[in-house]
A = this chain, B = another copy of it.
Amino acid sequence: MNIYDIAKLAGVSIATVSRVVNDSPKVSEKAKEKVRRVMEENHYTPNVFARGLGLGSMKAVGIICPDVADTYMARAVSYLEKNLQGYGYDCILYCSGYDAEDKQQAVERILKKQIDALLLVGSDYADESADYYACIKEVSGQLPVVLINGYLEEEHIYCVLADDFQAVYDVTDELLFAGKERILFLTDSDSYSARRKLEGYRAAFKEHGVEINEKWILQTEQGIYATRDMLLRQRNLHFDGVIAVNDSLAVGALKYMHARDIKVPGEINVVGYNNSELSISCEPELTSVDTRPEVLCKTAIDSVMALLSGKSMKQKQMVKCHLVKRSTTDF
């Protein structure tokens, strides 16, 4: 039972139902009574988001991401915008940067705008201890908030995310089966998605009964050169596999192997993440996890529109990843 059903049963437009929900003076008391009776009879609790419907909505959705220059986020924003266009909605873009304070400001600023929904791109926003979390939580009662590739256990914050746990579990499992037992886990972030990837890595080792050397879990700065240099600085680190949380780090690892004249995949297998253009630029070409941002973003926008039309949504929607095998692995 949604707003459309109520409108039909009450013999009024959905705009009228929406106005009744908001107790608009534009609707006669008689019509209000009728609509309210239908709602009661059908145990219909109006979705607060249905308020926006046709009532001076700007038909605009706010999108916040840390930096649209990032390849993954650029693709996500591109898909989100395309899907929003399909629904006749505009996209107001804010790049918040990575600092907690700047994120806070971006959230505060965008919430002052007349937006119909708020999209947060990137798992960097899934931090429950941050100040902006309180803002997002508060606003989530008033307009649809969708987190893309992040998760918050909050009734009204809808999360659409890649199944990073399963993707890394699966590829670690394949590497272990192929006899690689000293696998580095390279990360440049402590985001929700990076943590889930690490959990997948640990779970696969556990399943195989192989112990992880904690030295294999390596934190690096962002970027190709930073990763290469960090690996060049390591002493007595022996490994035969690398799983990186994004393609930049994986390419950085390849640069290290190139500098050390290590054969890939003969001596070391390397797996990247995001299946970006980088993965086909390097030599050998990179096996990489495709998180299918096109599916993720379509799901996110469809969800926003469903919420705006008064339908209910699952709070958490997972999208399965695909491993694209190229020349840096030999399984």
A305 sits at the interface (CB 8 A): no
Are A251 and B77 also in contact (CB < 8 A) when A90-B113, A95-B82 are?
no
Query: Could you tell me if A95 and B71 are in contact, using CB atoms closer than 8 angstroms?
Result: no
Q: Mark interface residues in A50-78 (1 if CB within 8 Å of B CB, else 0).
A: 00000000001000000111110111011
Q: Mark interface residues in A71-101 (1 if CB within 8 Å of B CB, else 0).
A: 1011101110110010000111111000000
A224: B residues at CB distance < 8 A: 277, 280-281
Which listed residue, B74, B79, B90, B225, touches A74 by the CB 8 Å rule? B74
A23 sits at the interface (CB 8 A): no
A278 sits at the interface (CB 8 A): yes
Query: Could you tell me if B258 and A277 are in contact, using CB atoms closer than 8 angstroms?
Result: no
Protomer copies: 2
| Bound Cα distance from A224 to B282, whole angstroms | 11
Shortest CB distance A110–B (Å): 8
Q: Report the count of interface residues on A (CB-CB < 8 A).
A: 33
A283 sits at the interface (CB 8 A): yes
Shortest CB distance A229–B (Å): 13
A328: B residues at CB distance < 8 A: none
A274 sits at the interface (CB 8 A): no
Query: Could you tell me if A95 and B68 are in contact, using CB atoms closer than 8 angstroms?
Result: no
Which listed residue, B68, B91, B92, B282, touches A282 by the CB 8 Å rule? B282
Are A277 and B71 also in contact (CB < 8 A) when A90-B113, A113-B90, A282-B283 are?
yes
Residues of A within 8 A of B (CB): 60, 67-71, 73-75, 77-79, 81-82, 85, 90-95, 113, 224-225, 248, 251, 258, 277-278, 280-283
Sample 18 A-B pairs with CB under 8 A, ordered by A number. A69-B74, A69-B79, A70-B74, A71-B74, A71-B277, A77-B93, A81-B93, A81-B95, A82-B95, A85-B95, A91-B92, A91-B94, A224-B277, A224-B280, A248-B277, A277-B278, A281-B281, A282-B282
